[in-house]
């Protein structure tokens, strides 16, 4: 992978000037290269990794689920058309074709367990080419996108002895 892309992947806030110094090229060359990657679609978005556990209050918490989906591939279209149908739902934040027992791994976010379970029951499971699902609710994140997440100090458990 291009060294400019490697730098931006690790730190999307790196300035053109900083990147130019790191790779010993002119800022103008770096800027043109970045614009080319953006135009071609190689760079899709710049984002921050946010530790929502540190900023979230109990009333605004959201639920994330990883859903394994078993589908019947469509003739001459394979998995792509049904995957497109699934990732078009606003609740779906990511969708991957995977190897193994299931065909797709779908990441879904909702306000609570009920909204996610309704999505699975009313939108996902009833799709024509979906044969089955297995839903896993995310309980705690330790690391995301290569970044170790720090956690709020919880009340220490009281030792109970008998």
Task: Mark whether 22 and 73 lie in a shared domain.
Answer: no
**Which range of residues forms the domain containing residue 86?**
59-140
Domain at 120, CATH number: 3.30.70.920
Residues 6+ apart with CB under 8 A from 67: 105, 106, 107, 108, 120, 124, 133, 134, 135, 136
DSSP secondary structure, 61-120, as one string: --EEEEEEEEEPPBTTTBTHHHHHHHHTSTTEEEEEE--SS-SEEEEEEESSHHHHHHII
- Residue 61 structure tokens: 């918490």
Q: Taking the CA atoms of the chain, what radius of gyration do you get in angstroms? A: 21
20 HSE (CA, 13 A, CB side)? 13
Treating both helix axes as pointing N-terminal to C-terminal, what angle do 3-10 and 16-23 enclose, rounded to 10 degrees?
Answer: 130
Question: Residue 151: pLDDT above 80?
Answer: no
* Higher-confidence position of 1 and 126: 126
Residues 6+ apart with CB under 8 A from 119: 89, 91, 108, 110
Task: Mark whether 63 and 126 lie in a shared domain.
Answer: yes
Task: Mark whether 76 and 115 lie in a shared domain.
Answer: yes
Whether the Cβ atoms of residue 133 and residue 90 lie closer than 8 Å to each other: no
Check residue 121 and give its pLDDT.
Answer: 97
Does residue 48 fall inside a structural domain? no
Question: Residue 77: pLDDT above 90?
Answer: no
Does residue 151 fall inside a structural domain? no
Q: Mean per-residue pLDDT for 22-50?
A: 93
Whether the Cβ atoms of residue 67 and residue 117 lie closer than 8 Å to each other: no
Check residue 54 and give its pLDDT.
Answer: 77
- What is the pTM for the complete model shown? 0.78
Tens of pLDDT along 45-74?
998 888 877 776 655 678 999 999 999 998
- Residue 17 structure tokens: 């000037």
Q: Mean per-residue pLDDT for 16-32?
A: 96
Does residue 112 fall inside a structural domain? yes
The dihedral through the CA atoms of 25, 28, 31, 35 has a sign that is negative
Check residue 4 and give its pLDDT.
Answer: 95
Check residue 23 and give its pLDDT.
Answer: 95
């Amino acid at each position: 992978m291009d060294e400019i892309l490697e730098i931006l992947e690790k730190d999307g806030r790196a300035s053109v000037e900083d990147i130019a110094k790191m790779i010993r090229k002119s800022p103008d060359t770096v800027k043109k290269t970045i614009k080319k990657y953006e135009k071609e679609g190689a760079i899709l978005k710049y984002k921050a990794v946010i530790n929502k556990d540190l900023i979230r209050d109990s009333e605004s918490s959201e639920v994330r689920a990883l859903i394994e989906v078993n589908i019947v591939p469509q003739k001459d279209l394979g998995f792509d058309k049904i995957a497109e149908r699934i990732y078009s739902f606003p609740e779906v934040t990511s969708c991957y074709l995977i190897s193994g027992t299931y065909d797709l791994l779908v990441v879904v976010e909702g306000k609570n367990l009920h909204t996610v379970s309704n999505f699975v029951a009313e939108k996902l499971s009833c799709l024509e080419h979906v044969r089955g699902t297995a839903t896993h609710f995310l309980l705690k994140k330790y690391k995301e996108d290569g970044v170790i997440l720090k956690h709020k100090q919880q009340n220490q458990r009281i030792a109970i002895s008998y």
